Chain A
Amino acid sequence: MPEQVSPPPLCSPAPRPIFEARGLTKVYQMGEVRVDALRGVDLDLYAGELVVLLGPSGSGKSTLLNILGGLDTPTSGTVRYAEHDLTVDDDAAMTQYRREHVGFVFQFYNLIPSLTARENVALVTEIAHDPMTPEEALALVGLAPRMDHFPSQMSGGEQQRVAIARAVAKRPQVLLCDEPTGALDAQTGVMVLEVIARVNQELGTTTVVITHNAVIAAMADRVVHFGDGHVVRIERNESRKAASELSW
């Protein structure tokens, strides 16, 4: 049973958060419709932890993740990553930030269909500072034998593992996963989550996983509950479950 903790525990020396978000709001204009995606979010994330953002669709999780990843900027509020101010609308700086620090995994994999698994990973390693080789990255996700297959020749789970390999190949400090199992069946989803957990533990990558599947929350250090553009509550798991123990 997870207990509720709002500020980080005071007993241990307070580590400095790697992400600090304060008063974030985001308003979208979708055609003729105005959408308030974030309505004032405060959140800190710490190095090396695995955080699950849980909430129904439309609750603002993806918007927050996009802002953390430098894919989008907030309408108001501040957000910092280490020394980086992520609120500035500076495309070059954001590009540099993403290139050096962040790995993304998307619900629909977003592989480049015209490139093989290896080439999709190479796309990132070629512009990264100190990357693994594409082969290493693909071995990490258990796809070494499928390296030269095109996305269209792979199952959804395999494609998502390629996406993870592509995300971690540059050894990012942060891995951001948006519904990584959303398009997969349970068995395949578990396999993908195992890979994410392994990357988090073996590489010490701060990992944020978005899901609306509450079962997945059990594998997190902390669970952030989202609803209607707010952080509803934050829970800390005493012990993380292994991904293989999950089922839904």
Chain B
Amino acid sequence: MRAIDRKLWRDLWHMRGQAVAIALVVMCGVGTYVMFLSTLGALRATQDDYYREYRFAEVFATLKRAPESLRARIAAIPGVERVETRVVEAVRLDMPDFAEPVSARMVSLADDAPHGLNGLHLREGRLPLPGRADEVVVSTPFAKAHTLHPGDRFHAILNGRRQALTVVGTALSPEFVQQLRPGSAFPDPKRYGVMWMGRKALGQAYDLDGAFNDLALSLRPGADAQDVIDRVDALITPFGGLGAYARKDQLSHRFLTQELDQLGTLATLFPTMFMGVAAFLLNVVISRLVTMQREQIATLKAFGYGNGAVTVHYLKLVAVIAGAGIAGGILLGVWLGHALSGIYMEFYYFPWLRFSLQPATMLEAAGASLAAAGAGTIVAVWRAARLSPAQAMRPEPPPRYRETLVEQLGLKRWLSQPTRMILRHIWRKPLKSALTVLGIALACGIILTGLFQRDTVGFMMNVHYGLAQREDLSVAFTDPTAYRARFDLAGLHGVEHVEVFRSVPVRLRHGHLEHRTTIRGIEPDGELQRLLDTELRPVAMPSEGILMTDHLGKMLGVRVGDRIVVEVLEGNRPLREAVVAGLVKEYLGVAAYMDLAALNRFMHEGPTISGAWLAVDHAQLQGLYARLKELPRVAGVAERIQEIRNFNRLMDETMLFFTYVSTVFAVVIAFGVIYNSARIALTERGRELASLRVLGFTRGEIGYILLGELGILTAVAIPLGLKLGEAMCYYIALTMQTDLFRVPVVLVPQTYAFAVAVVIVSALLSGLAVRRRLDRLDLIAVLKTPE
């Protein structure tokens, strides 16, 4: 090995603490980048392949009932490639060994076209035989939750008739990558599933033989989806069509897309911060190293090493540090990417995961790190190399210190000499001090962003399930039902209190803006379901007019008092006007509300309800489930506590991952920044501090001079970091404002305390590490050798 390369390795060994700290920051930067982008890439590739290979439809529609003959007219619409008519029904299941009510979405499979749209990916078994009314394929997550395999049997209530079903296969479908029970925010495969039955058998069970109530279309390349949708609507409206919609509005697809978009946001935000910090650290440390080696550089030059050779020498040094960080980061990123993808695979049901090492992503990460590192180095080396060797070998002129602003303001006499030294040192290099503060602040902010999702979703849950939705059970009827069903429910043993509601699917219009949603008629002064204003105070239900979620109001561009058009999407589909009576705060969905009686009048119907909320005696719950199962009109029962449990499970699995990763990374950043700053301060000022020791200062006193500066910078950085973290949380929240949910920025005091504690502990550890070196300062040697 060449002597100059040997110098490189020995220099590296000498600065190993700092080198490791920097490499770790680079590793985190590259690691997050690779993690997010490889996960994103894997999920996108998986989504694309899955949609293509299993022919995920592009336009969807549901309707009441249309004859099969309509199919030909739909197929004749220009741009339509394939038409699949289907029967889709909500069914109630009776699972052996599971007392609670279970519901499912039953979807028909074309008996004659096994390679139709929304193809099934069979995991086990086979498809149902044509005409067999007792054979179903169940979705894999549901099968897993109930340990179902081909040959297992359970019962379902099909159109009010109890029927035995045999599982012949388990499968996944591109249409149900996300399987959420309508009205539920979290997956619960134990209580909700999707299953498939032969078209003829399901059609017969629901009196839809030779007819259909659901449509899926694929389009020719270049077809105008909106034009097709308009034409489909024109054809199906007479048959109770609820309005066709494009793939982008399909629920499963929409959830997935929004999730991936959020992932994309994080994929830019976090790595950018880490790379920024890594570049800053490399810059500071390398420029300091180069400055410290001014004389060595001059000596090398005196013996005939050119500027190029010297620059290459230091670039190699940086490349080794950055290279170690990059290599570690890629490994870390791939590992974390697998973990993160695994978490997504828990909630999005893909048949496989196309996780591949993406050379482009890795090259980008490596290139960005090396560029950041190299740029910092070249500037520093150039500054050293530009000096003539003779000049470089002379000690630097004494650094120029000035009185600081604090001193100029007349506070000088209150400050001890050591304190003045600290302040002047910070003041001398304001940019460096500012960047150090920024680095520490970033660490603090990253912790907040890591915990933010947990805090804010916890808050949303509290509002949703604590303040607004307070029932124990919610019961949905298969069809609008006479009001007296309320008394049937109230009479059940174990039911303590009943409130009822009416749900009407509608399209709301205001000017050219429109949105499909549900108007829910609720009882005024209800206790189980309350509406909240923007201050989260319960709102009294006005006896007339419509209340809507503030986000829906924004989407429709309406204010209180505006008139909107309500197009009812059921029954004889009346078109009416309503006045916006107020806006309410909701974080999930975009619902609209009316007084129950007002809604019944609006619909020109008698007292009618769609479901009920129950407060129950928990001791009676099991018996109550059994009795509810026997009521034929009950389509499904949801337990609030179960929703909360589902939520907590989701949180534990996903949020913990982010919290853990971001905390570890924040510690790395905080330690990297503070430790490096302390080490640099020590090398810069070792001589000065040793001189002070010779003059009789104690170790504690010089420790104060050295670490006091870091203390001040950390103290300034913490409040800044908390603000910065809040800003980053607002940014993340901003990218999450959708009609599915809105994320408020809520951070609990414990989160702030945790962030502050992590930064302070990192600072203390860094201080201790440097303090040990300070104690070993060789006073005589420092004074004897030249600067």
Contacts and interface: CB of A to CB of B under 8 A. Distances in A.
Nearest to B14: A114
Contact of B304 (A63, A100, A108): A100
Contacts of A62: 390
A98 B304 contact: yes
Interface string B1-44: 01110110011001000000000000000000000000000000
B300 interface: yes
B296 interface: yes
Interface stretch (B345-353, B393-401, B414-422, B646-654): B393-401
B306 interface: yes
Interface in A63-105: 63, 66-67, 69, 71-73, 91-92, 95-96, 98-100, 102, 104
Contacts of A190: none
B295 interface: yes
A98 B302 contact: yes
Contact of A71 (B295, B309, B390, B400): B390
Given A31-B397, A31-B398, A114-B14, A96 B304 contact: yes
A26 B388 CA distance: 13
A95 B7 contact: no
A135 to B, nearest CB: 14
Interface string B392-412: 010001101000000000000
Given A98-B302, A124-B304, A115 B10 contact: yes
Contacts of A96: 304
A114 B10 contact: yes
B304 A123 contact: no
B652 to A, nearest CB: 50
B335 interface: no
Contacts of B391: 72
A71 B389 contact: yes
Contacts of B299: 104, 106, 110, 112
Interface in A92-141: 92, 95-96, 98-100, 102, 104, 106, 108, 110, 112, 114-115, 119-120, 122-124, 126-128
Interface residues of B, number: 31
Interface string B297-328: 01111111111010000000000000000000
A99 B303 contact: yes
Given A73-B388, A106-B393, A114-B11, A122 B307 contact: no
Given A71-B298, A71-B302, A72-B390, 20 more contacts: A30-B397, A62-B390, A63-B390, A71-B301, A71-B390, A72-B389, A91-B307, A95-B304, A98-B304, A99-B304, A104-B299, A104-B302, A106-B299, A110-B298, A110-B393, A112-B7, A112-B296, A119-B3, A123-B300, A126-B2
Interface of A: 30-31, 62-63, 66-67, 69, 71-73, 91-92, 95-96, 98-100, 102, 104, 106, 108, 110, 112, 114-115, 119-120, 122-124, 126-128, 166
28 contacts: A31-B398, A66-B388, A71-B301, A71-B302, A71-B389, A71-B390, A72-B390, A72-B391, A91-B306, A95-B304, A95-B305, A98-B303, A110-B296, A112-B7, A114-B6, A114-B7, A114-B10, A114-B11, A114-B14, A115-B6, A115-B7, A119-B6, A120-B3, A123-B4, A123-B303, A127-B304, A127-B309, A166-B303
